[in-house]
Amino acid sequence: GAVVSQHPSWVICKSGTSVKIECRSLDFQATTMFWYRQFPKQSLMLMATSNEGSKATYEQGVEKDKFLINHASLTLSTLTVTSAHPEDSSFYICSARPHSGRAGETQYFGPGTRLLVL
């Protein structure tokens, strides 16, 4: 149980285009989903917290107009990288916190989406 999927797993796009990444909790409901970004050989950095039915909360330094987050249901959150540029190339990972989770409850991570902007 507790599986989180991401789609696509790999995407290559041209500079200036927009890319949408989906994060789904397959067998549980997630009130909260998190989006992280990982550059090569570095740690994961939290980009934003996505709450179902409300606006996402972005970390300092993350442009909300560039990284659009929508959490339309308890099982789906999407991250859209708008007008992507080569510096947006990275590994994007989502995680989902179960609806019934108390503070510190295990989060479940998706397999990640590798974005390459040419």
Partner 1 sequence: GNSVTQMEGPVTLSEEAFLTINCTYTATGYPSLFWYVQYPGEGLQLLLKATKADDKGSNKGFEATYRKETTSFHLEKGSVQVSDSAVYFCALPNSGYALNFGKGTSLLVTP
Give the interface with partner 1 as residue ranges (CB under 8 A).
6, 32, 34, 41-44, 46, 49, 57, 93, 95, 97, 101, 103-112
Q: Which is nearer to partner 1, 10 or 14 (CB)?
A: 10
| Structure-token match 């080569």, residue found | 86
The sign of the torsion formed by the CA atoms of 38, 64, 68, 71 equals: positive
**Smallest distance from the beta carbon of 72 to partner 1, in angstroms?**
20
Assigned token pair, 80: 């859209």
Q: How far is the CB of 18 from partner 1 (least distance, A)?
A: 23
Cβ nearer to partner 1, comparing 17 with 26: 26
Round to whole Å and give the CA distance between 101 and 25.
14
